[in-house]
Amino acid sequence: MDIGEKLFELRKGKNLSQEEVAEKLNVTRQTVSKWETNQSTPDFDKIMPICELFEITTEELLTGKKPEEKVEEEAEVKKEDVEEERPLTKQEVKRKSAEVVSTSVFLYILAVVFIMITIPVLRMNPIIASSIFLVIVGLATVRIIRHYMSIPKFEKTKEEKKEEKILKQIDSMIGTITAVIYFIVSFTTFAWHITWIIFIIGGIVSKIVELVFMLKEDEEDEV
């Protein structure tokens, strides 16, 4: 809404004629008419008298926005900023971590199944199949890395430190067992071109164990 339309509505709202407005503002009726038809705009020294006459603020006259509307908009913006900047709670971080790990484990399993089927069964070109496999594994890995780099750090409880220590020991055992199985299978079958998948499977098992611990912690927190 432009100033002319605003002045017209304000005058009608006060049940004033153009002559009455002109008299109160010490201008001619033609001047008021030109303001309302946007043929001209009020001089600077007439802005305050106009606002006083119609009981509005200069901002409302010039922009058409009421003070309360501005306050509501600012309050809404502040509310959105608070919601966006609100840090995640420890419980929310655990649930997000469980979600990221579970989806990444699914992608790892999908990649292994894909490479085991496409080359020996579907006879897909090994280079193409391996490229797709690496893309899937890469996506899962990037998802995990991005998540753990972005989440806030919390002070760990004594119980959490104990579980983390146990998890590291289990992870170390899985790594050792995976390496042993890899060398046994590789030297037995001489299928070095495919036995490296054993390390991927070992990583999947490690992540599954980590996911189990996360879900266990989540259940304990809810209780």
Kindly report the number of other CB atoms within 10 A of residue 197's CB atom. Answer: 17
Q: What pLDDT band is residue 222 in, cutting at 50, 70 and 90?
A: low
Q: What is the pLDDT of residues 172-192, one digit of tens each?
A: 898 899 999 989 988 998 887
What local confidence, expressed as pLDDT, does residue 221 receive?
56
- The mean pLDDT of the chain is 81
Q: Are 160 and 217 in contact (CB under 8 A)?
A: yes
Q: Residues, the chain, total?
A: 223
Q: What local confidence, expressed as pLDDT, does residue 60 receive?
A: 80
Q: In this predicted structure, what is the pLDDT of residue 135?
A: 92
Quote the pTM value. Answer: 0.48
- pLDDT for 82: 44
pLDDT at 83 (0 to 100) = 47
> What pLDDT score was predicted for residue 144?
85
> Cα(55)–Cα(37) distance, rounded to whole angstroms?
21
- Asked whether residue 76 carries a pLDDT value surpassing 70, the answer given is no
Domains and CATH numbers, the chain: 3-82 (1.10.260.40), 87-222 (no CATH)
What is the pLDDT averaged over residues 7-28? Answer: 89
**pLDDT the model gives residue 132:** 92
Residue 4: what pLDDT? Answer: 83
The reported pLDDT for the residue numbered 72 is 57
Place of tokens 């600077």: 44
